[in-house]
Copies of this chain bind each other. A is one copy, B any other.
Amino acid sequence: MATGAPPPKGWQAIHDEVLRRIHARDWPPGHVIPNEVDLAREFGCARATVNRALRALAEEGILERRRKAGTRVALHPVSRATVDVPVIRREIQERGQRYDYRLLDRGTAQPPAAIRATLGAGEALHVTALHSADGAPYVFEDRWISLTTVPDAAAECFTSLSANEWLLARAPYTHGDIAFSAEAASDRDAELLDSSAGAPLFVIWRTTWDHDRAITTVRLAYAPGYRIRTRIGGVAAGGGQA
C-alpha cells in the first residue's frame, strides 16, 4: 500500500486540520479563528489539546495569538527556517572527511573600533585559525575573545583545540547574534582559502553573549562553494530530533 504517512492522531490531527482550513481559505489571512474552548468542543477533545496544536502553529509563524484578542491567521506569512550552525569539526567529520585545524596567530591586542563596540573597551584575545577538510581549506576563522568575560582564555594556547570548541566547553553562552552575508575575498582570505582575491565568500559573523556581557565575536569565511541548507515546514511541530 505504501501510504505516505499514517493519519495523525491527537494534537497533530488538529494542527493539520487547522492548517488545511487556512490553506483552503476557510480562514483567510487576518481571520480570527474560533477560540480554544469552541474548537475543543468541535474536535471533541480537551482545551489543552487544542492549545498544543495552536501553539505549534504559532511557533511556525502561521498563527498569531494574543490574550483576549484571540488567535488569527498571520497576515504576512514568513518562511521560518531553523538553521543548525554546527561545530566546524563535526560538520566536516560527519561528511566522512578528515578534519585539520591550524592555529595561525594568537595574541592580545586592542581590537578595531567595530569589535570594541560590542566587546567593550580594553584588550582582547585575537585568534586566527584555518579549518580544513581532507587537506583543502574550508574556513578561515578570525576571532576576538573578551578577556573581561573570559579571563581564563588568556592561559589557553588554542594550538590543538579550536577556540570555538574551547569556548563552548568553558564559557557557554546564553544567546547570540548571527549574520550571514556574501563578501569578496580579501588578499588574506584568498591566500588562506586557496582562491583568488575578490572571489565571493560565504561569511558568518557571530557574537555570543553571557547575559549582557559579550564573550566572543567571530568572522567565519568559508571557501567558495559553501552553502547552508535547511528546510521550512516539513516536520511541522515535531520538535528538534535531528
Chain A contacts to B: CB under 8 angstroms: 4, 22-23, 55, 58-61, 64, 76-87, 90, 168, 172-184, 198-203, 206, 211-212, 224-234, 239-242
Contact = CB atoms under 8 A, between A and B. Distances in A.
A84 B78 contact: yes
A86 B76 contact: yes
B229 A179 contact: yes
Copies of this chain held together in the complex: 2
B184 A232 contact: no
Contacts of A177: 229-232
Contacts of A81: 82-85, 178
A179 B82 contact: no
A232 B175 contact: yes
Contacts of A83: 80-83, 230
13 contacts: A23-B172, A59-B239, A59-B240, A61-B240, A78-B87, A80-B82, A80-B85, A83-B230, A175-B231, A182-B183, A182-B203, A182-B226, A198-B198
Contacts of A84: 61, 78-81
A81 B203 CA distance: 16
B212 A179 contact: no
A58 B182 contact: no
A81 to B, nearest CB: 5
A158 B233 CA distance: 26
Given A61-B84, A79-B84, A200-B200, 13 more contacts: A64-B241, A64-B242, A77-B168, A78-B85, A81-B83, A81-B85, A83-B230, A173-B233, A175-B231, A175-B234, A176-B234, A177-B231, A182-B224
